Chain A
Amino acid sequence: MKKLLALVMVACMVFGLVACGAPASQTTAAEPAAPAAAAPAAEAPAAAPAKADEPKPYDGVTLRVILASHDWTNAMKTEIPKFEAATGMKVEYEVYPEGQLSDKLNVELGSGGQYIDVFMCRPLQEVQQFIKNGFLAPVDDLYADAEFQGDDIIPATLSAYQLSGGDGTMYGVPLVTERQVLMYRKDLFEKAGLSVPTSLEEYEACAKALNGIEPGVVGVTMRGLGNPAVTQFTAYLFACGGDWIDFSGEHPKSLVNTPEAIKAFDFYGRMLREYGPADCLNMHWAECANLFSTGGAAMVTDADSIWKSFCGPDTAVYDKTGFALTPGQHSFNVCAWGLAISANSPNLAAAKEFVKWAAGVEEVKYIQTSGISSARLSSWNDPACTANYPADLLESIQKANEIATKAYDRPLCTSVAAARDAIGAVITASIEGKDVAAAAEKADAEFQRLLDEDFGG
């Protein structure tokens, strides 16, 4: 009896510790409280138990899907039950904000990944590392499937799911694409008698003229929080003629302290310091969106895929906002989010079926219609799917698609997070008006060290 009591006590204590150990935000972030382990399920459709009504191909299969808290996920929540009804599969999904999603995926995939079937991830942030570690199941057969229409996916985005310098095997499917666009307040431009800026010089002149044009309105807002700002800064780096890494030599070389990069750092920091909000050093895109959507800023540049947060129909500036190419006229076209399958998923066939459906032509059309920039050409070319886009936004996106030569918005290395922290420090220094060249020099040394580690310098 005492032994039993002791056992129960130990179990209680262990449980208590585990419950306390989980980060608070993570437990609240998981929306449906899905059980940790997917039920051991039948792999092949044939194993489905017969039911009174018509048997479905994946009856009895439970799929565990990890999703990001993103507009795409919100739009799919109503669609997933339809998929379940059609296939007989049970889809248990959990939703996490992007930072926690990364942690979650790394920990779970790193410890085998046999409890995850399908997951959403940011390919440019982590897929290179996932592929190298063997976390991802190849999905070439999906692309070969005529029903899936793999050739309909924007070709530039495919590289996000291939190993750089590898054999071209596909390890996932792009879902959301993005380019950087300029969102500006048409009413304020009219009031100041300005035209939409195309060059960096014009952009700065506009920011100067618009700063304080109305009480509490700043000229421009952009991400100022070091690490997250790196992707948005990249458009200006390209516009100044810079790049992140020189792959031409024998070893990849950091380009963080080239004159072009320093010019871009200077420009970005000066814009925010002189004409930006006071707290820009702590601003991620959500803070920028809060400010712009409530009429606190005259211009903002950020990803087009999240335009609704900045100036969608629910905001105060919906009918006052215009869109244009990012000043400097250099854009990138990147795959921001995609779906991949865990290499050790016990339900590979069902997982592929889910991906095939979720990233298939019909669902993508639905997604695009709800205002999320998809990765399928058929959706972009279908006027019905883009009817929800403001005309000038659609025009800027299509222009950006034409001129975009680069499919990345951050350094293409394995240690992306560490590289972004190092580079972000230069952006912070520039915003604060500190010595940019010195900061760039320091970041360059750190970034080169990371590159040497990643690529074996």
Chain B
Amino acid sequence: MRRWFDRHMKLVMVLPALIFIVLMIIAPLAYNFSYSFTDWQMSLVKAPKFIGLQNYKEILHDERFLNSVWRTIVFSSIAIVVETILGVALAVLINRKFHGRRVVQALMLLPVVATPVAMGMVWKLMLEPSIGIANVVVEALGFQRRAFLATTGFESMLWLIIIDIWEWTPMVMLMVYGGLQTIPLEPYESALIDGATKWQTFTKITLPLASSSILIAVLMRLIDVIKTYDIIYATTQGGPSFATETINIYGYLNMFAYYRFGKAAAISVLFFIVVMAMGCGFLWVKSKVEVEY
């Protein structure tokens, strides 16, 4: 027995993780996938009935779903672009030696360690148009009071994006900072001798050499930002009038508020495909632009 263990050590060590993945990820996925082809609604007391691609057909003609896809794309792309630019800038900043750097680093990480739901509630209170502090500031600056999250236009979405940027930019910063630390000094010395400007050094040396960690940070944020649920649920719950409803929120409502299990399953399958496709596409881009050194 002991020898068997010794011989199959690799398998034994991987097995727990494998069992875990099968039980907790693959099995629910397969289960979900199978139910996406059924008409199953708790409100109607009917056993799941196989209806083929009907759910998918319905969803792809559902204006609310299509709008939620569009909102998810807008939310994710703006958040990702801004978070990456700010994150890299901040990483470069804290990579320099200056007085109190450690304190600045620690302070910047605070949003990341806070619970997103709690932060959502705090932002909701700050942006509350009647009693929130945001309007006090807006008025002090001489502008008209705003409704912030209580608008059905783009403004409520914009504020959610700002909350996401505030919360997750430090995470990008941290990962890029880690990458910057690994860049050797030699290329910089050569650049100095060659008479490169600061901008040239940044674009030709720092960025390419840190590209690997930047791209990893972007990939992780990409997967995360598409799935954003907590801050939206804590602040607007997808409202007012669906103005901030992303695919995630719409899927959640279909499952837990409308009890349309079949439709919710189909939404999550489509969502899964979207996330996978974006992830794979991104990995392809990464392989093209990454620099080895």
Contact = CB atoms under 8 A, between A and B. Distances in A.
A9 B131 CA distance: 49
B241 A424 contact: yes
B239 A417 contact: no
A442 to B, nearest CB: 9
A227 B230 CA distance: 20
A280 B128 CA distance: 10
Interface in B131-154: 131, 145, 147-152
A103 B24 CA distance: 22
A34 B41 CA distance: 30
Interface string B40-54: 011111000000000
Interface residues of B, number: 38
Contacts of B256: 103, 106
Given A225-B239, A281-B239, A291-B130, A414 B16 contact: no
B70 interface: no
Contacts of B202: none
A281 B240 contact: yes
B130 A10 contact: no
Nearest to B254: A418
Given A281-B151, A281-B239, A2 B42 contact: no
Contacts, number: 99
Contacts of A290: 131
A414 B41 CA distance: 11
Contact of B42 (A9, A13, A106, A279): A106
A10 B16 contact: yes
A338 interface: no
A13 B129 contact: no
B16 A13 contact: yes
B166 interface: no
Nearest to B1: A3
B260 to A, nearest CB: 8
Interface in A427-444: 428-429, 432
A231 to B, nearest CB: 16
A6 B16 contact: yes
A120 B181 CA distance: 57
Given A291-B130, A418-B258, A454-B44, A282 B5 contact: no
Given A24-B115, A278-B150, A13 B242 contact: no
A226 B19 contact: no
A110 interface: yes
Given A2-B12, A414-B44, A282 B130 contact: no
Contacts of B242: 425
Nearest to A133: B45
B20 interface: yes
Interface in A363-415: 414-415
Q: Quick one: which of B115, B128, B259 has the most chain A CB within 10 A?
A: B259
B129 A279 contact: yes
Contacts of A258: none
A17 B23 CA distance: 12
Interface in B189-220: none
Interface in B7-28: 12, 15-17, 19-20, 23-24
A14 interface: yes
Nearest to B130: A277
B259 A106 contact: yes
Nearest to B151: A281
A362 interface: no
Nearest to A100: B256
A451 to B, nearest CB: 12
B257 A278 contact: no
B117 interface: yes
Contact of A17 (B12, B24, B149, B259): B24
27 contacts: A10-B20, A13-B16, A13-B17, A14-B24, A106-B259, A129-B259, A226-B240, A227-B239, A277-B130, A278-B129, A278-B147, A278-B150, A279-B147, A279-B148, A279-B149, A281-B150, A282-B149, A282-B150, A282-B240, A283-B150, A290-B131, A414-B44, A417-B258, A418-B257, A418-B258, A421-B257, A432-B241
A9 B148 CA distance: 47
Contacts of B12: 2, 6
Contacts of A278: 129-130, 145, 147, 150
